Amino acid sequence: MSRKKILWLCSWYPNKLEPFNGDFIQRQAHAAALLNDVFVIHLAGDNTGVVKETGEVVTNAPGIAEIIIYYKKHASFPAKLLSHYKWLHLSKKAIRKYIIENGKPDVIHVNIPVKAGYLGLWAQKKYGIPYVVTEHWGIYNEVEVHNYESKNSLFKQLTKKVYDGAAVFISVSRYLAEGVNRLVLQKKYTVVPNVVDTNIFYYKEKQPASFRFLHVSNMVPLKNAEGILRAFKTVAEQNSNVELIMIGDTANEIREYAYSLHFAKGAVSFKGEVPYQQVAAEMQLADCFILFSNIENSPCVIGEALCCGLPAIATRVGGIPELVDETNSILVEAGNENTLATAMQEVMKNYFTYNRKKIAEKAQNFFSYPVISKQLDEIYTTVLSTK
């Protein structure tokens, strides 16, 4: 089939106010654009004063156009209501403009039901355009503080309507989809994993050096970076030729905590928040990746590590078990620092059993742009064939 016109309506998307907001959604959009013509609409409201007036930024690349519409919003309750109507007005205006200039899209792809799903429902009713919905938000569990059950009734009603009206429900993990089925409504789903840019994250032979563990996250409490440090302390006391690299911290607390554990000089290094290219370079220099989270959905960083050929130690939570197997990982229980330390020792002892090149090849056949592009295209084709 020839290239289809797909309109992406995104609740989250990278923008100048939040450069990493939904970057995984952007990667999926660019994957979809390999086989289809994708047009992305995202609205970014600002209450900090950075945005002085409503405006838009359009970015074009082969197969994809992204329009980010910036507008002022305010924090008080009456102003929040006005901001919502401004969001609604600007969103509908952008959709109408797209249709006038390009004709009706073949399919609308909603990313995260609230709030973009409302636009999918509106366009379906007004123009008869079918929509699919992808959920990325890991709120359908009891561990996340601001989980689905904590949301108000309006949020829940809209979420349910969006799923109910969707031609296809897509999830980045079975774990997330089953959470939706348990808490929102019963709906058949298709899993399409997050995308990894394999032009950046790829296998590169590592030169012999000290054994290097690597952790990448924003190090919020759910990531349990402190637990990694405590477990590594046990390992470092028994092995002198070992390092731990920590990437992604933005506050001093975690560094101060590491200092309080009195590691040997050079045993632990913090890199802060760095570009993806540097993350990939650090992965290529590492020997094992660690993710010790209390809860996860389908973490992009696991896929990135695997595409670099890194075996992983991760917690058996959320969608992580769907991404790994015994050839490339060891799974441990969340919060159990003794088993984490034991797993670290085991990886070091049996490292010869891991074939890093094969780990990378297998991961690239699962997470790469062409693979995800084909999966999304098959979904769009199915929707149109049953329209």
Could you read off the pLDDT tens digit of each residue along the chain, which spans 387 residues? 589 999 999 999 999 999 999 999 999 999 999 999 999 999 999 988 888 889 999 999 999 999 999 999 876 667 778 888 999 999 999 999 999 999 999 999 999 999 999 999 999 999 999 999 999 999 999 888 899 999 999 999 999 999 999 999 999 999 999 999 999 999 999 999 999 999 999 999 988 889 999 999 999 999 999 999 999 999 999 998 999 999 999 889 999 999 999 999 999 999 999 999 999 999 999 999 999 999 999 999 999 999 999 999 999 999 999 999 999 999 999 999 999 999 999 999 999 999 999 999 999 999 999 999 999 999 999 999 987
Q: What pLDDT score was predicted for residue 77?
A: 67
Query: Tell me, what's the pLDDT at 360?
Result: 98
Burial class (CB in 10 A: 0-12, 13-18, 19+), 51: middle
pTM attached to this predicted model: 0.94
> What are the start-end ranges of the E strands in the chain?
5-10, 37-46, 55-61, 64-72, 107-111, 131-135, 168-171, 189-191, 211-216, 242-247, 268-272, 288-291, 312-315, 329-332
Name the amino acid, one letter, at 106: D
Q: Which two tokens stand for residue 58?
A: 């359009």
**Domains and their CATH numbers in the chain:** 5-195+369-385 (3.40.50.2000), 211-366 (3.40.50.2000)
Determine how β-strand 131-135 pairs with β-strand 5-10.
unpaired
Give rounded-to-5 percent helix, strand, coil for the chain. 45, 20, 35
Tokens representing residue 69 in the block: 């519409």
Tokens 């929102």 map to which residue?
184
Q: What is the pLDDT of residue 1?
A: 56
**Residues 6+ away with beta carbon under 8 Å from 85:** none
> Both tokens of residue 190?
């298709």
Residue 259: in which H helix or E strand, if any? helix 253-260
Looking up tokens 């670290």 gives 344
What are the tokens at 212? Answer: 């290097």
* Residues contacting 251, CB < 8 A, separation 6+: 219
* Neighbouring C-alpha atoms within 13 Å toward the C-beta of 36: 29
Taking CA atoms, 376 is separated from 181, 192, 258, 368, in Å, by: 21, 8, 43, 13
Angle (deg, nearest 10), helices 225-238 and 337-349: 50
148, amino acid identity: Y
> Side chain identity at 165, as an amino acid letter?
G
Residue whose pair of structure tokens reads 């990886």 in the numeric block: 347
Going by their DSSP bridges, the two strands 107-111 and 64-72 should be labelled as: unpaired
Residues in Cβ contact with 316 at an 8 Å cutoff, skipping those fewer than 6 apart? 331, 332, 333, 334
With contact defined as beta carbons under 8 Å apart, do 288 and 312 qualify? yes
Instruction: Identify whether the C-beta of residue 306 lies closer than 8 Å to the C-beta of residue 328.
Output: yes
DSSP string covering 147-201: -GGGS-HHHHHHHHHHHHH-SEEEES-HHHHHHHHHHT----EEE-PPP--TTTS
